Structure 1
Amino acid sequence: MPPPAVSKPSQSAPLETSKPSALFKPRKGRDWTLSMAVAGSIIANVVKPDHKTLLAGRIARAAAVFCVDEIIVFDDDPTNIPNYIDPIYTNKGKKTKAQALDSIAEHDEPWQNPDQFLYHVLSYAECPPHLRADQNPGLSLFPQHQNLKWVGMLPSLDMPHHLKSHEWCRFREGVTLGPTSDARSTPSSKKSKDKSKQQPGTYVKCGLPYPVRIATEVPPVMRVTLRFTDPEPPKSWPHLSQQECEALKVEAVAPTVPRQEEGYYWGYQIRRAGSLSEVFTASEFKDGYDLSIGTSERGAPLKAILPDHLVSKQIKKTRDPNVAQLPSEFNHLLIVFGGVAGLEPAVAADPEFKRVGLTKETAHEAFDAWVNLVQGQGSRTIRTEEAVEFGLFGLKDYVESMYDRGT
């Protein structure tokens, strides 16, 4: 019997592997979003600050790879003051936990304020590199801080809004330099200063050779999302002169516009929540999250809750009829990951959940779905950062199916 035929690689075009080819390509504008909430206490479980930074980087990296639109860092034990907080900040127990955390000095934050540390590092990682710091410290979005001392160890996120200077996109992130009427914020030439007096607005540094100008007046050192009127790059791109940069027609838009209008993944918004219940009650979406998923080793297998069109016939036959499936569509999906002890203690420790009678045993009732991400695990525990990666990967096909909504 002759050996099977083996296809030979094309000789005309050698395979190029020196540069990444999996660039994000927007499909169509979308209003639906993917959010995840993570307990900040995972940082307190790590001793060395460089390891804390690496852990935060792993969370950020997972969010970037799986196009998470929002991250919420929540306190999974909002009333009890942990023993790693120095008594000088608790006033011998006379302060609440929130008051104690607010009083922690900058040099102690990496060790005593884990939620703020995680929030701070995640915010830094999401920001385009060219906006994080400036030669003029007063124009830096992220001034020097103890929490950021080890950010050189963070992995690159390389998201679509982390544009290189030669890359063109109709949208860009920028930082305001101040009103054009303020000589300190304008380009150096006298001609530009005279011109700016006639055309009020704001100069914005956005990674081009020179700042661009928007008509709106915005205070200095504010991050803004820019949209260029012309979707095509200028003829001299990327070698633009100062006059060409200033002549570009550009406006400031909401940071959600690139996603909503053209379908770009434009990084993640981030906020802190003082408790697990606040993750829900302080949502920035008008009607909150219409679908929430809690993760626990006591939950149902992920394959048991996915809609029929995403699982095999064999899985359909073996489903537990008592386990509800996820809806075929959602508007704002939230997946929640607990700390070292899991989500059950976080529900039991939450004052609002306590008020409505939820306990460790009934913690699953706080969510629309209660999922075990890994069955038959070889290790005794699944770390939170691993659960984040497994969970986002497991939901990827479900989330991606939203692009087919209405088609």
Structure 2
Amino acid sequence: MEEHDSTFVNVTSNKNKKNKKRKKNKENEGSNELSAQELNVSKKRKKDFTSHNINFVHLFKEIPQRIPFIGKPRRNTLSVSLPVSLIENVQSDELRAYVIGNIARTLTIYGVNEVVLYNDLGDKSTRWMEYFSMNLRYLETPQYLRKFLFPMDPTLKYTGLQNPVNAPHHLRSSEWLPYREGVVRLIRRESTYTSLYADCGIFSSVRVLNKEDLEKIYGLEYLTDEEGDIYQRVTIRLDEPSLAKCRKNWKEGKVFDSTEPGTLSGYLVDPEEPLKVAGLYWGYVVRESDSFVECQKGCPFNESGKYDLRIGTSERGELYSPATRLPKYNNAIIHFGPVLGLENVIDEPEKKFDKYYNFCNNQKSRTIRTEEALLIALSLVTFTNPL
């Protein structure tokens, strides 16, 4: 995200002193109006920039310019649905792992916010649903958190064959952003230790300044009666003093993966905040559905659970051309069918969607595999209708 330093400079020398003084006062205030103007947000969204008394103008200046994937803040979401049979048709577990890795990279490259896996295999889908969803979740999780969230499991045997997705939230120990993924270990209720810390894969654990918000944001109380260690994945927004320490260590070339305890602090935030406020794509969520009909419900991004734009894909659909423009939407979902198409899982699919498109005109192969259709469709949709 570019720094607009020219905003803070008087560009005309012949302004009267009164105007200069007024402008200078406005600069010193670091007002929310300036931050909203710089980030091109509407008045309705100014409240997003006042949380925890943080000056968001300075916060965004902490984002290193070398990071290439910062986009415009956005609130609309893009979901896709995929059949579980997609991986049943693959010849071996090694190839399955590799195919899922490519799917995860496709979802990340094009900024998909949710992937819904639906059962199109009947009773035998249980094994493949678990295999598919666990591998997708594993790949979306930053590497430094996997040891906390994924115990040894044969389902993840071939993850070494999968290419990393390299998403914005997969930060290396030597990289930093205002936001970072972490895990918190819940506190035993009878414990005298009351501070909550997050492990975010950097040179210090992060003291959580709003631990009471864990239940409001993530539906989990920070105190527990359970035995053993219980971890919850969270999104942390570092406060300004902590960002200054990160910047200092980064400039001095210090090792970031040391275990300097408790020198950083920050706030628990909604996982959607990095995208909505900073324009940082923050990964996808995986949802499992018992049937294709059910996968069209339960949108996690609004209270109604409905998608306001439903797109079906088929070689029998309307041709999607470079001139195609989608209607405005808040939460869109693109449905992909199995080898035999959506016609195999739903009757008269052309009547069940808001749009029904053929994304590959004049195909030369008899069939297009679902993972291939996913790549083709997302490349066209995001090119003609940028997120």
Same-fold call, TM cutoff 0.5: yes
**1:24 Cα deviation from its structure 2 partner:** 3.5
Cα distance in 2 for residues equivalent to 1:223 and 1:173: 7
Look up the match of 1:297: 315
Look up the match of 1:223: 233
Alignment of 1:32-111 (within 5 A): 32-77=76-121, 80-81=122-123, 85=124, 101=126
- Equivalent residue letter for 1:372: N
SS of the counterpart of 2:79?
strand
**1:73 Cα deviation from its structure 2 partner:** 0.7
Look up the match of 1:136: none
Deviations 1:89-122 (A, max 9, x none): xxxxxxxx7xxx3xxxxxxxxxxx2122111100
Number of matched pairs: 299
Cα distance in 2 for residues equivalent to 1:246 and 1:269: 30
**1:144 Cα deviation from its structure 2 partner:** 0.8
Distance 1:121 1:397, change over 3 A: same
- Equivalent residue letter for 1:394: L
Cα distance in 2 for residues equivalent to 1:165 and 1:64: 21
Q: Return the match for 2:289 from 273, 287, 292.
A: 273
Look up the match of 2:227: none
Deviations 1:220-250 (A, max 9, x none): 3111110112184315424479897513230
Look up the match of 2:360: 374
SS of the counterpart of 1:340?
coil
Cα distance in 1 for residues equivalent to 2:177 and 2:149: 22
SS of the counterpart of 1:334?
strand
- Equivalent residue letter for 2:180: R
CA contact (8 A) 2:310 2:333 kept: yes
Look up the match of 1:346: 345
**1:256 Cα deviation from its structure 2 partner:** 0.7
1:233 and 2:244 are equivalent in the alignment: yes
Q: Return the match for 2:129 from 115, 125, 130.
A: 115
Distance 1:295 1:35, change over 3 A: same
SS of the counterpart of 1:211?
strand
Cα distance in 2 for residues equivalent to 1:365 and 1:278: 17
Look up the match of 2:303: 286
Cα distance in 2 for residues equivalent to 1:146 and 1:76: 24
Which entry has the higher C-alpha Rg, 1 or 2?
A: 1
**1:158 Cα deviation from its structure 2 partner:** 0.4
CA contact (8 A) 1:208 1:245 kept: no
Structure 1: segments with no counterpart, 5+ residues = 1-20, 86-96, 102-112, 134-139, 184-195, 308-325, 348-358, 403-407
SS of the counterpart of 1:248?
strand
- The sequence identity of aligned pairs, in percent, is 32
CA contact (8 A) 1:168 1:233 kept: no
Cα distance in 1 for residues equivalent to 2:107 and 2:169: 14
Distance 1:387 1:22, change over 3 A: farther
Look up the match of 1:334: 333
**1:395 Cα deviation from its structure 2 partner:** 0.3
Cα distance in 2 for residues equivalent to 1:242 and 1:291: 47
CA contact (8 A) 1:170 1:232 kept: yes
SS of the counterpart of 2:249?
coil
1:211 and 2:222 are equivalent in the alignment: no
Structure 2: segments with no counterpart, 5+ residues = 1-64, 212-221, 225-229
- Equivalent residue letter for 2:94: D
Deviations 1:157-212 (A, max 9, x none): 000000011111000001123439998xxxxxxxxxxxx84xx2312111112322
Deviations 1:358-399 (A, max 9, x none): x2xx21111111111111111111011100000000101244
Distance 1:182 1:209, change over 3 A: farther
Alignment of 1:138-153 (within 5 A): 140-153=148-161
SS of the counterpart of 2:163?
coil
Q: Return the match for 2:139 from 94, 119, 125.
A: 125
Q: Return the match for 1:389 from 375, 380, 387.
A: 375
CA contact (8 A) 2:203 2:260 kept: no
- Equivalent residue letter for 1:377: Q
Look up the match of 1:258: 274
CA contact (8 A) 1:338 1:346 kept: yes
Cα distance in 1 for residues equivalent to 2:223 and 2:278: 25
CA contact (8 A) 1:180 1:202 kept: no
Distance 1:120 1:244, change over 3 A: closer
Cα distance in 2 for residues equivalent to 1:153 and 1:363: 36
Cα distance in 2 for residues equivalent to 1:301 and 1:155: 33
TM-score by length of 1: 0.68
CA contact (8 A) 2:169 2:180 kept: yes
Look up the match of 2:173: 165
**1:304 Cα deviation from its structure 2 partner:** 7.8
Alignment of 1:14-33 (within 5 A): 23-33=67-77
TM-score by length of 2: 0.72
CA contact (8 A) 1:176 1:223 kept: yes
Cα distance in 2 for residues equivalent to 1:39 and 1:391: 16
SS of the counterpart of 2:132?
helix
Distance 1:182 1:169, change over 3 A: farther
Cα distance in 2 for residues equivalent to 1:177 and 1:304: 49
- Equivalent residue letter for 1:158: N
Cα distance in 1 for residues equivalent to 2:204 and 2:185: 12
Cα distance in 2 for residues equivalent to 1:63 and 1:218: 35
